[in-house]
Amino acid sequence: MMVEDYKLVDAPVEQPLAMHPKKFALWLFIVTVVMIFAAFTSAHIVRQADGDWLEYDIPSMLWYTSGIILLSSVTLHWAYLSAKKDKLELVKLALSITSILGVVFLVGQYMAWGQLVDAGVFFVGNPAGSFMYVFTGLHGVHLISGVIYLLYVLFSSFRYKVHSKNMLNMEMCSTFWHFLGGLWIYLFIFLLLNH
């Protein structure tokens, strides 16, 4: 038999999963944050079961900040959709509103700490208060990084670097911001059920 008699059969080529390295790093970071908060909420449940747990009312300000974070996710999604359609002025407007809402959320969280102090719930003392400050403070630190990223994307939009052909930063910022919003809603519901 000659070599010509053999026909090569084309085997299907499997394509590797394609993800931008920056997106992959973001998802690794998100998984890490989820694990940290899962550990804290588990520790909260275990410590609460030990007894000697301070009962207190959730600060009313947290209701408002929860609404603000949900609204900010809506405005960021508006920015994302506007960028995909190359409506660049709407991108700037929606990103500006989202950034302002992010700062308002942080100010509201700080005011909630004031309400906790007024109610006699402190960081030092009963672990119930300590957990409240740790949850809100740690989430706040992550949200500060989210606001910084929002501002970076906003400034990029003013330099016309955010549009349908350049969506990487908008997509990553949206993913991170929506994650932070979802994380806050989880924490808020957890605290409502376990305070």
pLDDT digits (tens, 9 = 90+) for 115-136: 999 999 999 888 988 999 999 9
Write the Ramachandran bin of 44: left for phi over 0, alpha for psi from -120 to 50, otherwise beta: alpha
Q: What is the dihedral of CA 125, 127, 128, 133, to 10 degrees?
A: 80
Q: What tens digit of pLDDT does each residue of 11-62 get?
A: 566 666 678 889 999 999 999 999 999 999 999 999 988 878 888 899 999 9
pLDDT attached to residue 18: 77
Q: Kindly report whether the global pTM for this prediction surpasses the value 0.85.
A: yes
Whether 69 and 76 have beta carbons less than 8 Å apart is answered as no
9 contacts 158 by C-beta, under 8 angstroms:
no
Closest to 180 measured CA to CA, from 152, 141, 129: 141
pLDDT tens column, 158-172:
999 999 999 999 999
Q: What is the mean pLDDT of residues 164-189?
A: 96
184 pLDDT more than 70: yes
Domain positions in the chain: 56-193
> If pLDDT is split at 50, 70 and 90, which confidence band does 2 have?
low
For 67-114, what is each residue's pLDDT tens digit? 999 999 999 999 999 999 999 999 999 999 999 999 999 999 999 999
Length of the chain: 195
- Tell me the CATH architecture of domain 56-193: Up-down Bundle (1.20)
